[in-house]
Amino acid sequence: MSFQVFGIPVSRGVAIGRAVLVNSSRVDVAHYFIAEDRIEAEIARAVSARDEVVRELETLKADLPSDAPHELAALLDVHLMLLHDDALTGATKQWIIERHYNAEWALSAQLEVLARQFDEMEDDYLRERKADLEQVVERILGALAREQGRNPVDAASVVQRDFAGEDPLLLVAADIAPADMMQFKRSIFHGFITDIGGKTSHTAIVARSMDIPAVVGTREASRLIRQDDWVIIDGDAGAVIVDPSPIVLEEYRFRQRQSELERAKLARLRHKPALTLDGEHIELHANIEMPADAPAAVEAGATGVGLFRSEFLFMNRDGELPSEEEQFVAYKAAVEAMRGMPVTIRTVDVGADKPLDRMSAHELRHEHVLNPAMGLRAIRWSLAEPSMFRQQLRAIYRASAFGKVRLLIPMVAHLSEIRQILETIKKVQQQLTDAGHAFTKVDLGVMIEIPAAAVMLPLLLRHVDFVSIGTNDLIQYTLAIDRADESVAHLYDPWHPAVLQLLASSIAHARAAGKSVSVCGEMAGDSAFTFLLLAMGLRSFSMHPSQIPSVKQRILRADAGRLSSYLADVLDSDDPQRSAEFAFAAYRTESKLQ
């Protein structure tokens, strides 16, 4: 039966495919595809783990005291029966053979299928056996985890599966951690659906960077959608259509083809200079997460990297921090891939929606923090861990010998932080000189993400070379909205007068001081804001490579000087969004008449 689920549209377009549910069990598991020649070995892993649990339960049963309740032995018998049931073990093998899932993923996928079957049973006793099934699966997953610890997975056996000729797959989850999103980033998924999240949650940001449709904040999608259901993601309307009728399916296939044609047209602009009609040159930089993203930025026509989110080098490492050498190699690779164009590296920004995994004693303990977005994150954490901070700075400065590198500090709010940063940089430069490492001048910049930083920007500008406005957090902190919380997502408003006032004043202060200023938040890549940001005087945008063509198209049609004449009316309006729509509609009409 066809039904619809609604959420927040965060990445436009249409995706059609079969649902793949992840992290559906109570135990979080790794999800990756295995190579063809690893199938038998992966099946053997699953069977070995199942057999280990069987032995454990048989030992428990044999060691039961004579006065143990009869129900306890009966419960162990039920668990043993489930372990030998082909509906669990046989079907798990099929997931491995047909989809090339790793054993943990295959097992959790089959748990999802069986759990739904138990939910639909009319008999109360049988329906309650789902808890037994979950306990059995958790035991097997535990055995697999112990085996994985003894025999770490070979990186060569993990592949990005090529599903050419097979049904497209759509990822469905309650939530997707940033580290997991990076695992899936270059995979075969054609779209994302999550129960929680907002327009600027990390899942949304990565989906946009992949240029694939996504809907978040659906609340119930992962519970209502089943493994392998046919699903349509309408990334424009924020709708998810499950088991669509043939007529609906054909309508969306047509829209999908139209969208692909539009993207092909925009792609022709990628190497055209971003010049406004009145001759203003606009820098269009790219936001990247890993060095491997840099070639895509060049291909998209980016004129540099405006934001290298270095924290992703720190994730998926079981709590181990990357060494200086490892970081240096990564930064150097990104710098060289950009072929002489500038690369702005942001120091590690863990916290809030990007915690490190398996946190050790010297790392953030988010489970004890009531509001991590307001806690020890970003530069606060770096200054609290001086040896880690110096290590990262050394790696960044060493990479500067191979191209133009700029250093960006996140979440600055105090002049005392600037002084500590400058002092640390001096120490790092001396350490590198003593060690004989080459480096060149690295411009220092700060992110304007906190209202306090925007208000005191004239003071900050005395100590830095450039500023970059992170609109995602600036909106969050200005409006006191958790941007990852779908329950308040409707209050997250980039058009709020306070947000626009802070943006306009920050850009004006930087330009008046002769310092470069860019916007690297999601507003930069949203073509709905391009005219407004140009009117404010912004001449440097940084966004995901996939967003560059649509923003460039707007820039090529803009007269920046004439647009600025509309700014005062928009900023003075009770309804800035509506005023901007009228003003820029009038601008387009006037442009056609002349």
CA dihedral sign of residues 71, 72, 78, 84: negative
How long a stretch of residues is the chain?
A: 594
Provide CB contacts within 8 A for 72, sequence distance 6+.
64
Burial 293-332 (b: 16+ CB within 10 A, else e): bbebbbebbbbbbbbbbbbbbbbbeeeebbebeebbebbb
Mutual angle of helices 386-399 and 415-435, in 10-degree steps:
60
Q: How many CB atoms lie within 10 A of CB 419?
A: 11
Quick check: 372 and 409 in contact, CB under 8 A? no
Radius of gyration of the chain (CA): 26
CA 285 to CA 543: how far, in whole Å? 6
Residue type, 75: L
Q: How many CB atoms lie within 10 A of CB 252?
A: 18
Pairing state between β 516-519 and 33-34: unpaired
Paired tokens of 579: 């005023």
Q: How many CB atoms lie within 10 A of CB 233?
A: 30
Nearest to 498 by CA among 483, 516, 477, 467: 477
| Dihedral, CA of residue 241, residue 244, residue 245 and residue 251, to nearest 10 | 70
Q: Is 49 exposed, middle or buried (0-12, 13-18, 19+ CB in 10 A)?
A: buried
∠ CA 105-107-112, nearest 5°, is 95
Quick check: 524 and 542 in contact, CB under 8 A? yes
Q: What is the DSSP letter of 593?
A: H
CA 335 to CA 294: how far, in whole Å? 8
CA 566 to CA 408: how far, in whole Å? 32
Would you name the residues annotated as active-site residues? Answer: 202, 520
CA 539 to CA 516: how far, in whole Å? 9
Largest CA distance in the chain: 97
- Helix intervals (H) in 462-496: 471-479
